[in-house]
């Protein structure tokens, strides 16, 4: 094989050298410089992308800093305003509310007083009322009468008498606060005596007649009365009135949340929702108003958010203000100083901008005005900036340096890689800015859109395609040379064997050594068989040469196929008489003539019979059948020999091909027999089919088409 490969390479050396020098080598050189150009361009593009990303991050950082600075300026303005200095809380509320409408971002503004109480001036017109209300002057004069009424209520449990006594006191009272407290006691006694309808009427009159007052314990009178109305309706199982009333009450609490002490608001929220949940479990479904539960759910979520803000203000008071108060008192009094801090509140970073309020110029920081910025306050502005300025294929997030939690942005999906990390100037806010890039977008931008890439791809495609064709041609020629070498050896063997036998027989006949007439006749038959074998071998080789040159011609004439098969079988039996082969023939009756070249078709049939005899082994019986189909006639030759594996059944028609098992059984053979058969059948517009199982024999069918109308 190596010698054949060297021979093929020597035969095509000029062509190979030309291809290497003119196509292959220049293409590789161009590809090398093209790849370098792509690398340089990609590096420049990466640098440009990096600068764009860096510039984008800086603008995002500048946007956050600008928002913080605006908040700082607003806080400085508020802390020095006349409204704060004079405790003109209504003016402060109007100032902050107006600024909130003008700005897209304003954190929760909180005012902490010297007693630790706090108020949201942007959300409520005034601070929550003091927990200890002022007692009316006449309340002391009414104490003896109030004591007798309380004795009837609490000691004697005589609720009607208590209602009567409280009613007389109410008639004599002149102060609204005292009247409101007495009327609340009347309603309380009506509940105790289970006169729920009258109690509801009394509590509602308290709500209407005495707005804005506190109870004796310092709680908002209106929300307390509304809660008692709900309790009376629930106790009376008046669910049709309870559900609308509960919705109004919780809406009122949600609306006035900022005007009520946070602890009190949370207490009444808990009480009201407990009553609602109990009423929902006890009432028939048809008494629950449509959309009631969804409305309650929305209000519950709103109250939850407001409580979180209240808890945030408490956390600032407890965690930040003590240290800031100490720092503020040690600073020179050169104007308001804004203290910038970060509070880790409920797993979120909160920016706390705090200004001390020193109304008396004593240098003591008793009160503080602060702006509490959460990432949600900045989100709208950041989202807008991100949408308008973000480079393609880039994702950004802010991460807390202390807690490592993501504050802004989402988790990065797979396929994205870190580009770089940056921090805010002066580490405020103490957040880390992380930039990620979609590698897929980067590759498309920097590589696949590059003109050099497609040029190189085209060159390499040409080079490898051409190289593949050349290698395939070389391999094909090497294989062909190998097959031709095997063919020449086989033909030489095929010629040598019968010629040697014929020479030996002729030598004996010419020397008159054979005296027995029967033996002489046997020798003559052997000479005839070998001569016919040589003639067919020579004819096969010559016919194959004509086929290769395209000169083989066929004369198709109407042929009696039954006669042709019988003649071919008789000839085969005579030639193989000594070998002992028996051919069983079965031919359908009334077969129509078939257009065929008799000589070629006889040659094809004889080649198949030869193969059947050669590979039958010890089995000497061959079956030949001529079968009429609807539009064709099939000549089927079946043996009981070694068979043909399925993976070789198509290859046996290739020139010079001999199967592995066939080569071991019969070393002789040219590998041209079935190739000629296939060509002959193609020339007749027919087909050759093989039906075989290894070890069980082979059936080869020659299928010839019939003329239409036959």
Which candidate, 89, 271, 129, places its Cα nearest to that of 213?
129
| Residues 490/668, Cβ–Cβ less than 8 Å | yes
d(CA 6, CA 11): 9
Which candidate, 445, 452, 451, places its Cα nearest to that of 32?
452
| Residues 561/588, Cβ–Cβ less than 8 Å | no
- Mean of pLDDT over the chain: 80
HEC letters along 167-236:
HHHHHHCCCHHHHHHHHHHHHHHHHHCCCHHHHHHHHHHHHHHCCCCECCCCCEHHHHHHHHHHHHHHHC
User: From residue 706, how far is each of 476, 593, 629, 633, 684 by CA, in Å?
Assistant: 38, 8, 9, 7, 11
Least confident of 59-68, 415-424, 610-619: 610-619
Residue of higher predicted confidence among 42 and 84: 84
DSSP state of 325: H
User: Is residue 78 scored above 80 in pLDDT?
Assistant: yes
d(CA 161, CA 185): 13
d(CA 222, CA 228): 10
| Residues 206/180, Cβ–Cβ less than 8 Å | yes
Exposed (0-12), middle (13-18) or buried (19+): which is 642, by Cβ within 10 Å? buried
User: Is residue 163 scored above 70 in pLDDT?
Assistant: yes
- Residue 392 has what pLDDT? 79
- Residue 444 has what pLDDT? 46
Q: Work out whether the CA dihedral 110, 351, 81, 123 comes out positive or negative.
A: negative
Residue of higher predicted confidence among 380 and 545: 380
- Residue 346 has what pLDDT? 84
User: Is residue 76 scored above 70 in pLDDT?
Assistant: yes
pLDDT grade, residue 292 (50/70/90)? very high
DSSP state of 426: G
d(CA 263, CA 277): 21
In DSSP notation, 262-318 reads HHHHHHHHHHHHHHHHHHHHHS-GGGSPTTHHHHHHHHHHHHHHHHHHHHHHHHHHH
Which candidate, 692, 708, 676, 407, places its Cα nearest to that of 537?
676
User: Is residue 366 scored above 90 in pLDDT?
Assistant: no
pTM score of the predicted model: 0.56
User: Is residue 115 scored above 60 in pLDDT?
Assistant: yes
- Residue 233 has what pLDDT? 94
- Under DSSP, is residue 635 helix (H, G, I), strand (E, B) or coil? strand
d(CA 150, CA 188): 12
Least confident of 2-11, 515-524, 648-657: 2-11
pLDDT grade, residue 277 (50/70/90)? very high
How does pLDDT run across 639-695, given as a tens digit for each residue?
A: 888 888 888 878 787 777 776 666 666 655 566 778 888 888 888 888 998 888 888
End-to-end CA distance of the chain: 53
In DSSP notation, 65-128 reads HHHHHHHHHHHHHHHTSHHHHTT-HHHHHHHHHHHHHH-S--PEEEEE-TTS-EE-TTT-SSPP
Close Cβ partners of 324 (under 8 Å, ≥ 6 residues apart) = 339, 341, 354, 356, 365, 368
Q: In what order do the strands lie in the sheet with 416-423?
A: 406-408, 394-400, 431-438, 416-423
| Residues 229/271, Cβ–Cβ less than 8 Å | no
Residue of higher predicted confidence among 32 and 265: 265
User: Is residue 182 scored above 90 in pLDDT?
Assistant: yes
pLDDT grade, residue 363 (50/70/90)? low
| Residues 590/688, Cβ–Cβ less than 8 Å | no
Identify the structural domains of the chain with CATH numbers, from first to last: 83-125+321-440 (no CATH), 139-213 (1.25.40), 553-705 (3.30.565.10)
How does pLDDT run across 424-462, given as a tens digit for each residue?
A: 888 888 889 988 887 665 554 445 555 656 666 666 677
Residue of higher predicted confidence among 104 and 589: 589
d(CA 274, CA 271): 5
Residue of higher predicted confidence among 355 and 670: 355
d(CA 165, CA 169): 6
User: Is residue 259 scored above 70 in pLDDT?
Assistant: yes
Residue of higher predicted confidence among 181 and 509: 181
What backbone phi and psi angles, to 5 degrees, belong to 369? Answer: -115, 125
Close Cβ partners of 98 (under 8 Å, ≥ 6 residues apart) = none
User: Is residue 334 scored above 60 in pLDDT?
Assistant: no
Residue of higher predicted confidence among 220 and 330: 220
Close Cβ partners of 582 (under 8 Å, ≥ 6 residues apart) = 573, 620, 621, 622
| Residues 91/83, Cβ–Cβ less than 8 Å | yes
Percent of the chain with pLDDT over 90: 22
How does pLDDT run across 86-100, given as a tens digit for each residue?
A: 888 888 888 888 877
User: Is residue 192 scored above 90 in pLDDT?
Assistant: yes
User: Is residue 542 scored above 70 in pLDDT?
Assistant: no
- CB neighbour burial string for 505-538, b if at least 16 within 10 angstroms, e if fewer: beeeeeeeeeeeeeeeeebeeebebbeebbebbe
- Residue 296 has what pLDDT? 93
Q: Work out whether the CA dihedral 606, 608, 610, 616 comes out positive or negative.
A: negative
Section 390-411 average pLDDT? 84
- Residue 202 has what pLDDT? 95
Section 68-80 average pLDDT? 87
| Residues 705/628, Cβ–Cβ less than 8 Å | no
Residue of higher predicted confidence among 413 and 694: 694
pLDDT grade, residue 159 (50/70/90)? very high
């Amino acid at each position: 094989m190596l010698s054949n490969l060297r021979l093929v390479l020597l035969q095509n050396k000029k062509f190979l050298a030309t291809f290497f020098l003119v196509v292959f080598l220049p293409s590789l050189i161009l590809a090398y410089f093209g790849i370098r150009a792509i690398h340089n361009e990609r590096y420049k593009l990466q640098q440009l992308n990096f600068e764009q990303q860096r510039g984008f991050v800086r603008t995002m950082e500048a946007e956050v800093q600008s928002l913080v600075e605006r908040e700082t300026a607003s806080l400085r303005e508020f802390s020095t305003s006349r409204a704060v200095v004079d405790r003109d809380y209504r003016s402060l509320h109007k100032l902050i509310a107006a600024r909130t409408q003008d700005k897209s971002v304003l954190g929760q503004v909180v005012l902490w007083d010297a007693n630790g109480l706090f108020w949201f001036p942007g959300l409520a017109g005034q601070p929550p009322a003091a927990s200890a209300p002022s007692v009316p002057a006449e309340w002391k004069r009414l104490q003896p009468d109030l004591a007798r009424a309380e004795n009837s209520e609490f000691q004697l449990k005589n609720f009607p008498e208590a209602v009567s006594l409280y009613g007389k006191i109410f008639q004599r009272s002149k102060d609204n606060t005292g009247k409101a407290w007495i009327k609340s006691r009347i309603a309380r006694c009506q509940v105790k005596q289970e006169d729920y309808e009258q109690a509801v009427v009394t509590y509602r009159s308290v709500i209407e007649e005495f707005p804005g007052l506190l109870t004796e314990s310092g709680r908002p009178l209106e929300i307390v009365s509304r809660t008692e109305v709900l309790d009376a309706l629930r106790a009376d199982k008046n669910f049709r009135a309870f559900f609308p009333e509960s919705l109004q009450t919780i809406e009122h609490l949600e609306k006035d949340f900022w005007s009520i002490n946070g602890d009190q608001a949370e207490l009444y929220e808990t009480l009201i929702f407990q009553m609602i949940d109990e009423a929902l479990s006890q009432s028939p479904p048809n008494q629950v108003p449509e959309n009631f539960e969804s409305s309650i759910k929305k209000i519950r979520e709103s109250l939850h958010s407001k409580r979180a803000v209240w808890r945030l203000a408490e956390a600032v008071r407890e965690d930040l203000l003590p240290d800031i108060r100490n720092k503020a008192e040690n600073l020179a009094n050169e104007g308001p100083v804004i203290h910038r801090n970060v509070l880790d509140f409920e797993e979120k970073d909160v920016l706390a901008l705090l200004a001390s309020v020193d109304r008396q110029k004593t240098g003591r920081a008793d009160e503080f005005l602060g702006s509490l910025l959460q990432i949600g306050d900045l989100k709208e502005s950041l989202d807008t900036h991100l949408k308008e300025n973000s480079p393609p294929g880039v994702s950004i997030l802010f991460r807390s340096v202390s807690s490592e939690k993501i504050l802004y942005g989402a988790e990065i999906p797979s396929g994205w890689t870190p580009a770089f990390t940056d921090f805010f100037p002066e580490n405020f806010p103490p957040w880390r800015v992380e930039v990620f890039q979609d590698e897929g977008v980067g590759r498309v931008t920097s590589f696949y859109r590059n003109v050099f890439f497609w040029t190189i791809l085209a060159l390499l495609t040409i080079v490898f395609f051409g190289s593949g064709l050349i290698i395939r041609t070389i391999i094909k020629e090497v294989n062909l040379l190998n097959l031709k070498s095997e063919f020449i050896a086989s033909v030489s063997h095929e010629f040598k064997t019968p010629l040697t036998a014929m020479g030996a027989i002729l030598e004996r006949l010419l020397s008159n050594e054979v005296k027995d007439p029967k033996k002489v006749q046997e020798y003559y038959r052997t000479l005839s068989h070998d001569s016919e074998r040589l003639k067919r071998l020579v004819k096969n080789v010559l016919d194959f040469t004509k086929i290769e040159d395209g000169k083989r011609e066929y004369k198709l004439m109407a042929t009696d196929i039954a006669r042709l098969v019988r003649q071919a079988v008789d000839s085969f039996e005579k030639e193989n008489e000594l070998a002992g082969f028996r051919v069983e023939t079965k031919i359908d009756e009334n077969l129509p003539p078939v257009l065929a070249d008799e000589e070629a078709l006889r040659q094809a049939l004889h080649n198949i019979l030869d193969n059947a005899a050669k590979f039958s082994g010890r089995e000497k019986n061959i079956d030949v059948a001529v079968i009429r189909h609807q539009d064709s006639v099939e000549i089927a030759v079946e043996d009981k020999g070694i068979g043909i594996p399925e993976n070789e059944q198509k290859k046996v028609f290739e020139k010079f091909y001999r199967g592995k098992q066939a080569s071991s059984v019969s070393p002789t053979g040219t590998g041209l027999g079935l190739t000629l058969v296939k060509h002959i059948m193609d020339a007749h517009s027919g087909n050759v089919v093989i039906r075989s199982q290894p070890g069980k024999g082979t059936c080869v069918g020659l299928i010839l088409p019939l003329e239409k109308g036959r």
